[in-house]
Chain A
């Protein structure tokens, strides 16, 4: 299995531009999590989905952030418009269903976003 796939790996953009981050979870996993990591705040949960349905988006910082999961194999995190304070590493993680799958989350390699 290829693991969780994220693209792009690096993104540099200018303030005000729209940014779209993409994630492909591990096949068969029914949970998908989006995290943001900064030096100041560490890792923070932004939103998570179960069976493609958003369950908790309380970590999404503001209306400029949106996330979708149109099917079990694809999710996007969009920032529009982007601001310099959005610069961070964004991780996607997935988890197998139910107790049999355990509680382990498998992280993608991350997207390093720089907003100038």
Chain B
């Protein structure tokens, strides 16, 4: 079993829909990251969370440390949100990131 699991693996949506991507992990962590990888391949960090909730524009990330679960929400989705979203955790006591396998999101106009 992977230490970081994401669901769903693939997601399609119509423009304007509310999107949720889930991430569960099985190790102790000091932080959780959400990354975005566009079709061109570049990887950008969206959020780093150690507790609670963060919001940036139409993106919201939450984490529940007790349940070892995080969600990434996209409100009013747009075709430009089409990308692979990757959850990664930083194991406690290390600087290493462990990655989920990613969620491929396609938003159609």
Which DSSP category, helix, strand, loop or mixed, fits chain A's interface?
Answer: strand
Please give the residue numbers on chain B whose beta carbons come within 8 Å of chain A beta carbons, in ascending order: 30-31, 33, 41-45, 48, 86, 88, 90, 94-102
Q: Are A110 and B41 in contact (CB under 8 A)?
A: yes
Q: Are B41 and A105 in contact (CB under 8 A)?
A: no
With A89-B41, A103-B48, A104-B45 already in contact, the answer to whether A42 and B95 are too (CB < 8 A) is no
Write the nearest CB–CB distance from B42 to chain A, whole angstroms. Answer: 6
Q: Which residues of B contact A104 (CB under 8 A)?
A: 33, 45, 48
Q: Which residues of B contact A31 (CB under 8 A)?
A: 95
Please give the residue numbers on chain A whose beta carbons come within 8 Å of chain B beta carbons, in ascending order: 31, 33, 42-45, 48, 50, 55-56, 89, 91, 93, 95, 102-107, 109-110, 112
Q: Are B94 and A105 in contact (CB under 8 A)?
A: no
Q: Which residues of A contact B41 (CB under 8 A)?
A: 89, 109-110, 112
Closest to B98 in A: A45
With A43-B99, A56-B94 already in contact, the answer to whether A102 and B48 are too (CB < 8 A) is yes
Which DSSP category, helix, strand, loop or mixed, fits chain B's interface?
Answer: strand
> CA of A60 to CA of B101 in the docked complex: distance in angstroms?
19
> CA of A104 to CA of B98 in the docked complex: distance in angstroms?
14
Q: Which residues of B contact A106 (CB under 8 A)?
A: 45
Q: Are A42 and B102 in contact (CB under 8 A)?
A: yes
Closest to B44 in A: A107
Q: Are A48 and B99 in contact (CB under 8 A)?
A: no
Closest to A3 in B: B42
> CA of A48 to CA of B31 in the docked complex: distance in angstroms?
18
Q: Are A91 and B95 in contact (CB under 8 A)?
A: no
Q: Are B95 and A50 in contact (CB under 8 A)?
A: yes
Q: Are B95 and A48 in contact (CB under 8 A)?
A: yes
> CA of A48 to CA of B96 in the docked complex: distance in angstroms?
8
Q: Which residues of A contact B94 (CB under 8 A)?
A: 56
Write the nearest CB–CB distance from B29 to chain A, whole angstroms. Answer: 11
